[in-house]
Amino acid sequence: LSSSPHCHSSTGPMDDINRVKRVSIEGNIAVGKSTFAQLLQFAGQDWEVVPEPVGKWQSIESGSSQQKVSNLLDMMYQDPQRWSYTFQTNSCMSRMRTQLQPPPARLLRAEGIPVQVFERSVYSDRYVFALNMFELDCINSTEWAVYQDWHSFLVEQFGRQVELEGIIYLRAPPQKCMERLGQRGRVEEKGVQLDYLEKLHTQHERWLIDKSTKLHFERLTRVPVLVLDASVEFEEDPKVRAKFITQVKDFFS
Ligand code: DGT
């Protein structure tokens, strides 16, 4: 029977793709998601890290000539009431594209458990940032209704393709993130206040720890969350790095 040409192989292309686990790294601004993602990338050949497309938001290109039109990240920080909704349409579209990227062939050939790791997701776009901007009155109730409508529609249409099998929450006190934000000195962020980081921290906590955020997607309420203490300086400390890797490996297996 197994040699029958009509027989479906148990390792066809869809089986291979479905074997890949999709996980997002969540956490406050400057908590160290990119550093952590690089750590993962070097730690396991079966892992692929897809970075947050922040460069694209800093350099919006004209649809026809592909020349730089503006820096939307800067515009959002300069005038959040005017630009937050536009920012969320752009950030969510780019996150959607990222999450829809098929895993590379290397990952499909992996012997262990292949994992695609995203920096943030279409879910933090909505339940951390857009929600926060709405609560701060930077997104008005009409914009919020419109955002939620297209967000739900797209996520439901793409279905399994944008679902996550796990979330890694890098958790640190907002004060710690503020220090790291100051150290990296990204120009657009120079006006960011501790108060804003505290609000974003609260949104992460409500969503991932207290589970009190009202989620539209039932499936999302069941996604396992690994909480890592990112207040420690994991970049410099090999012991902490090794412990993180072990925790992540256990989480994936
Ligand atoms: P990391 O590696 O943890 O230091 O984080 P980064 O620098 O890779 O990324 P992060 O979290 O600082 O985000 C880049 C910038 O974009 C930062 O100023 C926060 C902002 N940002 C990211 N996503 C959103 C969003 O959905 N809405 C708004 N309003 N801002 C966002």
Is the Cβ atom of 121 under 6 angstroms away from ligand 1? no
Can you give the CATH number for the domain in which 173 is found? 3.40.50.300
For residue 221, being part of any structural domain is answered with: yes
What is the tens place of the pLDDT at every residue in 157-173?
999 999 999 999 999 99
pLDDT of residue 43: 81
For residue 3, being part of any structural domain is answered with: no
Catalytic, 205? Answer no
Flag whether pLDDT at 60 surpasses 90: no
For residue 76, being part of any structural domain is answered with: no
pLDDT of residue 191: 94
Is the Cβ atom of 189 under 6 angstroms away from ligand 1? yes
> Cα dist. 192→22, 80, 177, 223, 234 in Å?
31, 12, 11, 31, 24
CB atoms inside a 10 Å sphere around CB 214: 8
Q: How far is the CA of 201 from the centre of ligand 1 (A)?
A: 13
pLDDT of residue 32: 94
For residue 72, being part of any structural domain is answered with: no
Residues 6+ apart with CB under 8 A from 125: 88, 91, 92, 95, 151
For residue 160, being part of any structural domain is answered with: yes
What is the tens place of the pLDDT at every residue in 208-248?
999 999 999 999 999 999 999 999 988 888 899 899 999 99
Is the Cβ atom of 87 under 6 angstroms away from ligand 1? yes
In whole angstroms, what is the distance from residue 55 CA to residue 65 CA? 18
Atom number in ligand 1 closest to CA 186: 18
Q: Of 171, 48, 54, 164, which Cα lies nearest the Cα of 117?
A: 48
Could you tell me the sign of the dihedral formed by the alpha carbons of 151, 153, 155, 161, in that order? Answer: negative
Q: How far is the CA of 154 from the centre of ligand 1 (A)?
A: 22
What is the tens place of the pLDDT at every residue in 140-197?
999 999 999 999 999 999 999 999 999 999 999 999 999 999 999 999 999 999 999 9
Flag whether pLDDT at 4 surpasses 50: no
* ipTM of the modeled complex: 0.94
Which tokens is 178 given? 């503020």
For residue 70, being part of any structural domain is answered with: no
| R_g of the chain computed on alpha carbons | 19
Q: How far is the CA of 155 from the centre of ligand 1 (A)?
A: 21
For residue 40, being part of any structural domain is answered with: yes
> Cα dist. 187→34, 58, 78, 107, 157 in Å?
18, 11, 12, 36, 37
The rounded Cα 107 to chain-centroid distance in angstroms is 20
Range of the domain at 236: 17-52+81-252
Name the phi and psi angles at 231, rounded to 5. Answer: -75, -20
Ligand 1 binding pocket mutation candidate from 29, 50, 197 (most atoms within 8 A of CB): 29
Q: How many structural domains comprise the chain?
A: 1
For residue 90, being part of any structural domain is answered with: yes
Letter string b/e over residues 23-47, b meaning 16 or more CB atoms within 10 A of that residue's CB = bbbbbbbbbbbbebbebbeebbebb
